[in-house]
Amino acid sequence: DGTEKGDFLALDLGGSNFRILRVKVSHERQQRVEMESKIYSTPKDIVHGSGAQLFDHVAECLGEFLEKQEIKDKKLPLGFTFSFPCRQTKLDESILITWTKGFKASGVEGSDVVKLLRKAIDKRGEYDVDIMAVVNDTVGTMMTCGFDDQRCEVGLIIGTGTNCCYMEELRHIDLVEGDEGRMCINIEWGGFGDDGSLEHIRTEFDREIDRGSLNPGKQMFEKLISGMYMGELVRLILVKMAKEGLLFEGRITPELLTKGKLQTKDVSAMEKTKEGLLRAKEVLSRLGLEPSDEDCIGVRHVCTIISFRSANLCAAALGAILSRLKDNKGVPRLRTTVGVDGSVYKLHTP
């Protein structure tokens, strides 16, 4: 509610990198919140290895962070943001339902991720933390925004993956007794369309992305929107256009045919208003191509189409959530705040 104060740790695990933060909250008017953070990578061999390897890596990085902060001897409260579909049974207990976003660490699905993290920390025996709660990144975003803006009722993530949460009226939640008050609902909207309801908007490129993913048939909405797939979508379209003689005079290189060679950060770079065409020439040259100015314009247009589709689908889904809030309140005009975070939202700007 904005009155909180103290010294806290936060661990955010949910994508190609994870983040550890130290957050100092005071009631000083000039600087109420001080944050120091470090981003650590999650290498593919760890993401695709065992659960023990993954959480050992996280515990090792946490120890390194505490040492640099010179607080290894303190037992600080820690909030754990774990951004995957979970069944939350307690504030500090969350059972992983299924991995998404390219994660495939074995022995974690069906297990309590807080318990696995505690086990990895205890095994090191060199520091201790008090894991107070585990939340989804959408919930963390909404709460962070709500610290300064009490009207915040929605948390939205557009990054490696995508998801949303919102505040629902208790009278609409069958699992909870009572009708007074509200509860935060983690929608897990990345899985929207897993029942086939999005087939009418999926393209041949979306189907190829799905077939080559670690979770075919799952997270269909996410595969249309998120940063994990935008670069690969553009690459697949460029391959088809080149094969049909519409780009690069029909020339195709081994690099262009290699999965993962074109990343979402490249798409972002090629869309820049001022230097986009120059960036397009650089990116395409890196793929062994010799693009003409017309090629660069065409490729940039493809990037824009993929980005606009992502933004429009996300906006449509968010619009549905806002309509729900408006109907719940029974007001002619909704006034609310949406907390938004994620690498695509923050970095993908023309």
Residue 243: active-site member: no
Check: CB of residue 154 under 8 Å from CB of residue 10: no
Distance, CA of 280 to CA of 209 (rounded, Å):
23
Cβ-Cβ contacts under 8 Å for 82 (sequence gap 6 or more): 13, 14, 94, 96, 113, 134, 135, 136
Check: CB of residue 121 under 8 Å from CB of residue 308: no
Catalytic residue among 101, 218, 223, 281: 101
Catalytic residue among 137, 206, 266, 295: 137
Check: CB of residue 13 under 8 Å from CB of residue 138: no
Residue 123: active-site member: no
Q: How many CB atoms lie within 10 A of CB 7?
A: 14
Check: CB of residue 88 under 8 Å from CB of residue 198: no
Nearest in space to 93 (alpha carbons), one of 105, 111, 74, 78: 111
Nearest in space to 157 (alpha carbons), one of 176, 170, 141: 141
Residue 25 pairs in a beta bridge with 6, 33
Q: Kind of pairing, strands 93-96 and 162-169?
A: unpaired
**Structure tokens, 185:** 């609902």
**Structure tokens, 292:** 């003409």
Distance, CA of 139 to CA of 111 (rounded, Å):
21
**Structure tokens, 324:** 């729900």
Check: CB of residue 217 under 8 Å from CB of residue 194: yes
Instruction: Name the E strands within the chain.
Output: 6-13, 17-25, 33-41, 77-82, 86-90, 93-96, 130-135, 152-158, 162-169, 182-186, 337-341
Distance, CA of 149 to CA of 147 (rounded, Å):
6
Check: CB of residue 286 under 8 Å from CB of residue 303: no
Q: Which residue is listed with tokens 């976003």?
A: 101
Write out the catalytic residue numbers: 101, 137
